């Protein structure tokens, strides 16, 4: 069961997020290899978010819903 603060959070393009796969809605979950990774929101598709995750030397795009992400709280370097 997810808390309301995780579902009601409003994400903007450019925000950093942690990927945390929740078993509550497995249909929209990303692949398990992305569990614990940090990515940047690059777009929105309906209720889902497009997240860019760097793996190795490539950028992977993941499409998932709010249940499987939460805001990144670490330090962020300015561009």
Q: Region 25-30: what's the mean pLDDT? A: 91
Query: What is the pLDDT averaged over residues 47-71?
Result: 95
CATH number at residue 31: 2.30.30.70
Residue 77 lies in a domain: no
Mean pLDDT of 23-30: 90
User: What is the C-alpha separation between 3 and 7, in angstroms, rounded?
Assistant: 7
Its domain, for residue 20, covers 4-71
User: What is the per-residue pLDDT for 40?
Assistant: 96
DSSP letter (8 states) at residue 13: T
For residue 56, what are the CA distances in angstroms to 11, 53, 59, 60?
26, 10, 8, 10
| 76 is a domain residue | no
How many domains, in total, are found in the chain? 1
């Amino acid at each position: 069961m997810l808390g309301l603060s995780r579902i009601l959070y409003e994400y903007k393009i450019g925000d950093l997020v942690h990927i945390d796969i929740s078993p509550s809605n497995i249909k929209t979950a990303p692949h398990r290899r992305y569990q614990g990774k940090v990515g940047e929101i690059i777009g929105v598709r309906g209720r889902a978010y497009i997240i860019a995750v760097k793996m190795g030397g490539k950028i992977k795009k993941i499409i998932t819903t709010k249940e499987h992400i939460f805001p990144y709280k670490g330090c962020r370097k300015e561009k």
